[in-house]
Structure 1
Amino acid sequence: MDRPTLDAIVDGAPRGPGVYLMKDREGNILYVGKAKDIRNRLRSYAGGTDGRFMIPFLVGRLHNVEFIVTATEKEALLLENTLIKEHRPRYNVDFRDDKAYFHIRLDTRDPFPRYQLVRRPRKDGARYFGPFPSSTSARETLSFLHGLFPLRTCRDADFRGRRRPCLEFQIRRCSAPCTGLIEAAPYAALVKDSLAFLEGRERVLLADLRRRMEKAAEAFRFEEAALLRDRIGSIERVLEKQHVLSMTYRDRDVFGIHGEESLTQACVLYVRKGKVTGQRLFPPIRLALDREEILSAILKRYYDGETHIPPEILLPGDIPDREVVAEWLSERSGRRVTLSVPRRGEPRKLVEMAVRNAGNAVETARSTGSDPRAALELAMQKLGLKKIPERIECFDIASIGAEVAVGSKAAFTAGRAGHRRLRHDVRGSPAAPLRGQ
């Protein structure tokens, strides 16, 4: 688009908050933006005061600009987010992430609720805990919970139709409410304890469990006291492995961002009750945009799909629409949410940790992206090898008893998979398939 045409569009742009959609000659949306004053915002494109790397390319393909006026800047933010998700414009931050991270769901309205692993929380009145950084960590947590607080594992249809306890009851991972072996009141106590554990109130829970253990022992209910003792020991072992980073015991999300050339990586650390409980790496962004713009886009897209919004969010740098985003998050969570850029102390150390994790992800992505040799060099460093592994062989064995066993092998040479070297064998003992390879 030439300068006179762009100037004419700027002069005809509305004053006030809203959203603008930049389109090419075919009508495809190139970019969606929001502004407190649309005309002033577009003037930065025409006047060359917007120094972002993408601007010359965007203006060069621009043919028309469409405006949608809103009543407030917050409405513009919501509309911008909706339009970006719907149209996925070329010059907006591409935040496509097909991963739906696991949450643990517990519906306390059910008289005998169960833990469920779900990928997408819903506003259905149930309690959700997460997200977990991987399916493995989610399933390990679920397994630990069943051993600690043995709620039922079966689906509702099986629960209603069961006539005798299942194997989970035999190995003490279910309390068998389906057959009446536990009544509603003690089952509700298990649910209450599990909620306290998932909410991070372990110290309060331990004090209550110790009180109940002593009471059971005084009443000569030694089996019950032993179960409570084992439960206390399991929780204490978990607490020993957790490192407290904050003496304020606040819930926080801590963002870090790291960019090199046209590759930018963002990371969020989950801090719950003062402990780092996990992290999430966002998909790498391959647009030459300002970090402030990338961070703003990530916040809006990420929290648009999240049910849990902590009261405090720490950022590595300021964003231009921080007050509007904070107002929107406060409205979504039902309480005040603050966005802050810490300069010193423990909050700053948390931000630096998130930035380091983002930087490590960029290093790994560059090392393993297209050059197998670089990936092998990274493997050599991580594994402490003396030289680059020229050949890697991976084995897996599956067996049923001692009679049926299957072994498989995958081989990599010079960092590339050799599909002709995929094998599997069936032999009479679990060790035989390995000998056959």
Structure 2
Amino acid sequence: MNQELDHSIQNAPRAPGVYIMKDGDDRVLYVGKAKNLRARVHAYFGGTDGRAMIPFLVSRVQAVAYIVTATEKEALILENTLIKEHRPRYNVNFRDDKSFYHLRIDLAQSFPRFELVRRPRKDGAVCFGPYPSGVAARETLRFLQSLFPLRTCRDREMKTRRRPCLEHQISRCLAPCAGYVEPAAYRELVCDAVAFLEGRGKALVADLQARMAQASENLQFEAAAALRDRVAAITETLEIQRMVSLSGGAQDVYGVYREGDLMQVCTLFIRQGKLLGQKDFALIKLGGETKMLLSSLIKQYYDGAADLPDAILIPELLEDQTVIAEWLSDKKDKKVTIGAARRGQGADLLKMARINAESAFKAAGPSADGTEEALRLLMEKLALRHPPERIECFDISNVGGRWAVGAMVTFLA
């Protein structure tokens, strides 16, 4: 250990903040946060941190920098920012570049429409989701359009169109573009669609049945028939959907399955008591306690998430869950709770999430990232006696035989 590093460790501040470990080339190796920076850093170099990666990390560290913050919550936010900026080698990076789909509708418009968006904006529009799969989101939108004949065209199309499109001909749009429907009648249909997505299906069916009876009494048989078909379709859907939670709020439930350094996390998204979908995270060759890795996952995942739940269920309590819950509550402008459940409905949901995590792990096989199989094939093709410890890959690209550019990537064992 060099003299400057030793001095930096011995004089670490006794305050909350972020520590940044760097190598001899000033590259950021690891970013972490702590309630007490001195105690945390001393744990790394004093041998009391038993994580498998620690010996490899501290052997490369040549400098430690500190940023003191006023609170733990500020340290958490800064830690996330620095991890995203530097992508340190020894930090676990869970971020998925793909955002989930949401169904968006702007109720401020005279004739609003549903559309799929990846990142909802805070513009007053109502959003439903998240849908982890684009296929599931599009299927939900198609089903919604078959039930509620709202417009699908963009605003510019609607303003310039003079005659109804094919959607109106097949009874999938009321053609507000051509003035075929009054704003009040269209608004009623919009309210029905929103009620359906919000999980108020039974109340909606009762209301539609009352309207159907009224239409029949007024000899509006075509309108009554349309309402009858809508009631039948919604009733059938309600029978298929399974209530997994009696809580009406939004819940994200985390299940974890682990074998050694391989870990699988399954997140169940529950909205209005129904299971909307799930997201799987395959985490390869990780050292550290499960609760530490789960804490990192939650912080990184929700840092850029557009849809925050009201409650997060986890299999075991986290050391910094109070700070994380406070941070998420600030982001949502509403209280977010984080907790574990040992019995009751919460325990059942955690068990379901863990079963899904284990199932995904088993389906991936013994080498979840495919590394072992790739190395075996490489040894076979190149007649190698031992697995390679360093692989350098080159590629050259050009446009029309000109502007050639070369690149090299290096993989180390």
**Range into which the TM-score falls when normalised by the shorter chain:** 0.7 to 0.9
Aligned-partner SS, 2:13: coil
Aligned to 1:155: 154
Residue 398 (structure 1) aligns with = none
Alignment check: 8 A CA contact 1:15 1:38 kept = yes
C-alpha RMSD of the superposition? 1.9
8 Å Cα contact 1:97/1:282 also seen in 2:
no
Equivalent residue runs for 1:285-324 within 5 Å? 285-324=284-323
The corresponding residue for 2:330 is 331
**CA displacement at 1:338 relative to structure 2:** 0.9
Once the 2 structures are TM-superposed, how far is the Cα of residue 157 of structure 1 from its aligned partner?
1.4
Shift of 1:245: 2.1
Deviations 1:221-251 (A, max 9, x none): 1111111111111111111111122234443
Query: Corresponding residue for 1:205?
Result: 204
Structure with bigger RCO (C-alpha 8 Å, 6+ apart): 2
- Where do residues 373-384 of structure 1 align in structure 2 (5 Å cutoff)? none
Give the 5 Å matches for 1:68-147.
68-147=67-146
Determine the C-alpha separation between the residues in 2 that align with 1:353 and 1:285: 22
Distance verdict in 2 for CA 1:15–1:152, change over 3 Å: same
Alignment partner, residue 392 of structure 2: none
On the 8 A contact 1:94/1:285 being kept in 2, the answer is no
Q: 2:130 is paired with a residue of what secondary structure?
A: coil
Please report how far the alpha carbon of residue 152 of structure 1 lies from its aligned counterpart in structure 2 after TM superposition. 0.6
Using the TM superposition, give the Cα deviation of residue 101 of structure 1 relative to its aligned residue in structure 2, in angstroms: 2.0
Amino acid at match of 2:38: R
Match for 1:159: what amino acid? M
One-letter amino acid matched to 1:186: A
Q: Which amino acid aligns with 2:326?
A: E
Superposed, 1:18-417 pairs within 5 Å as: 18-366=17-365, 370=370
Displacement of 1:214 in angstroms is: 1.7
| Displacement over 6 Å in runs of 4+ | none
TM-score (ref. length: structure 2): 0.86
Contact 2:264 2:358 in 1 (8 A): yes
Distance 2:208 2:273 in 1: 23
Separation in 2, partners of 1:299, 1:131: 16
5+ long unaligned stretches in structure 1: 374-437
C-alpha separation between the residues in 1 aligned to 2:160 and 2:268? 43
2: CA distance, partners of 1:247 / 1:15: 45
SS in 2 for 1:129: strand
User: How far apart are 1:371 and its partner, in Å?
Assistant: 9.3
Q: Distance in 1 between matches of 2:347 and 2:98?
A: 29
* SS class of match (1:307): coil
- CA separation in 1, counterparts of 2:263 and 2:24? 30
Is the 1:93–1:285 contact (alpha carbons within 8 Å) kept by the matching residues of 2? no
Partner of 1:267: helix, strand, or coil?
A: strand
The structure-2 alpha-carbon separation of the partners of 1:128 and 1:285, relative to structure 1 and needing over 3 Å to count, comes to: farther
Give the C-alpha shift of residue 100 in structure 1.
Answer: 2.3
Q: Secondary structure of the equivalent of 1:359?
A: helix
User: Cα offset for 1:46?
Assistant: 2.0
Secondary structure of the 1:84 match is helix
Distance in 2, matches of 1:285 and 1:125, equals 40
Paired amino acid for 1:20: Y
What is the CA deviation profile of residues 134-165 of structure 1, one whole-angstrom value per residue up to 9, with x for unaligned ones? 11111110100111111111111111111110
Count residues in correspondence.
372
The residue type paired with residue 65 of structure 1 is V
Q: Aligned pair in 2 of structure 1 residues 38, 370: CA closer, same or farther (>3 Å)? A: closer
Deviation string, structure 1 residues 373-397 (Cα, Å, up to 9, x no partner): 9xxxxxxxxxxxxxxxxxxxxxxxx
Instruction: Tell which deviates more after alignment, 6-15 or 326-335.
Output: 6-15
Match of 1:435 in 2: none
Give the match's secondary structure for 1:320.
coil
Looking at structure 2, the residues matched to 119 and 248 of structure 1 have their Cα atoms a distance apart, in angstroms, of: 26
Report the Cα distance in structure 2 between the residues aligned to 1:341 and 1:242, rounded to whole angstroms: 26
Partner Cα distance (2:261, 2:340) in 1: 24
CA contact (8 A) 1:101 1:119 kept: yes
Instruction: State whether residues 254 and 351 of structure 1, in contact with CA within 8 Å, keep that contact through their aligned partners in structure 2.
Output: yes
Secondary structure, counterpart of 1:130 in structure 2: strand
State TM-score, norm by structure 1: 0.81
Deviation, 1:5, is 6.0
How far apart, CA to CA, are the structure 1 residues paired with 2:371 and 2:325?
42
Residue 341 to residue 56, structure 1, CA distance change in 2 (3 Å): same
Gaps of 5+ in 2: 374-413
Q: In the TM superposition, what whole-angstrom CA distance separates every residue of 1:187-216 from its partner, at most 9, and x where no partner exists?
A: 111111111111112122122212211222
CA contact (8 A) 2:158 2:177 kept: yes
Residue identity opposite 2:160 in structure 1: G
Question: Does the 8 A contact of 2:5 with 2:64 survive in 1?
Answer: no
